[in-house]
Amino acid sequence: MPETTVPATQPLIHARALTKCFGSFTAVNGIDFDVAPGEAFGFLGPNGAGKTSTMRMIGTVSPVTSGELTVFGLDPAQHGARIRARLGVVPQADTLDSELSVLENLLIFGRYFDLSWAESRRRATELLEFVQLTERAGDKVEPLSGGMKRRLVIARSLINEPSLLLLDEPTTGLDPQARHLVWDRLYRLKQRGVTLCLTTHYMDEAEQLCDRLVVMDQARIVAEGSPRQLIDKYVTREVLELRFRRNDDETDDSAHLDGRLEGLAERIEQLPDRVLVYTADGEAAAATAYERGLRPASVLVRRSSLEDVFLRLTGRSLVD
């Protein structure tokens, strides 16, 4: 059996009309996507959009209900074990073994992948170094911080030297410092040529890590492109955020805009706590708004983000 089953030009993951149903509930509704070797590909969407179900199908642990899916050119239904042998998986929950030490968690995973104990130990030692956990090798897993556990799970997913790494919300629940450490390690893996496929509901994570992504909402893909392309296509360069003082009657002044923002922007989005004005020049729009007599409590001009793309596409924010 040749090691490389996919020619370089063929996608590592190929999905057409991919669907997953649980009883009468449709978790993934006929999505199409391809992931090329060496790419960092993301699924961006809110909780319940179908990201995890998609990842579990790619990981061959959840049977495809209908549609087409190949991973490394292989059919998950036929060759699950062969596909998994070449995959690294970082699941949403850490699923570490609390009865084993940090090092043993890696060792036994190496054994699951049929490595010899010696080889497993060699790789485990190297990986603990890579995720900066060498000092904790002999410790139990439970006292580790959330960030450390996450890094250990990433180390565990690399024990079989996978060519494709699946990461389901790799930094959810981590503090900013821990997130940056995880991102840095994932970036290094990407530089080594590991294909990354990840889900996230953080737009900054998608922007940091993904070459290309799809936006998922309610079991479907609603947009696809690089972070920059999506922003260019769906939103303006800048966003002016206006916050208004809350009145006694629980309305705020934004309810009385009376069209005073008219013609100021390509698009205006009224959120419960603020008004978003999409425009090429935020400073100019702010000045005009002021001239027209608006007196917001705070004014912020920022670059637009994937969050805005998502809002534009679905009318809802990503993290609610």
**Choice between 84 and 190, CB closer to other proteins:** 84
- Rounded least distance, CB 319 to other proteins, Å: 24
- Scanning 86-94, 213-221, 255-263, 291-299 for contacts with other proteins by CB under 8 A, the matching segment is 86-94
- Rounded least distance, CB 196 to other proteins, Å: 16
Report the distance separating Cα 235 and Cα 282, nearest Å: 13
Among 240, 229, 288, smallest CA distance to 262 is for 288
**Choice between 62 and 305, CB closer to other proteins:** 62
Task: Determine, following the binding rule CB under 8 A, whether residue 161 of this chain makes contact with other proteins.
Answer: no
Task: Determine, following the binding rule CB under 8 A, whether residue 313 of this chain makes contact with other proteins.
Answer: no
Choose which of 107, 148, 189, 264 interacts with other proteins (CB under 8 A): 107
Binding mask 23-62 for other proteins (x = CB under 8 A): ------------------------------------x-xx
Q: How far is CA 109 from the centre of its chain?
A: 25
**Choice between 111 and 316, CB closer to other proteins:** 111
Task: Determine, following the binding rule CB under 8 A, whether residue 91 of this chain makes contact with other proteins.
Answer: yes
Q: Nearest 5°: CA angle at 32, between 188 and 162?
A: 30
Report the distance separating Cα 152 and Cα 104, nearest Å: 11
- Scanning 98-106, 125-133, 198-206, 222-230 for contacts with other proteins by CB under 8 A, the matching segment is 98-106
- Footprint of other proteins on residues 66-85 (CB under 8 A)? 80-82, 84-85
Binding mask 120-159 for other proteins (x = CB under 8 A): ------------------------------------xx--
- Which spans of this chain sit near other proteins (rule: CB under 8 A)? 22, 59, 61-63, 80-82, 84-85, 87, 89, 91, 93, 95-100, 104, 107-109, 111-114, 156-157, 160
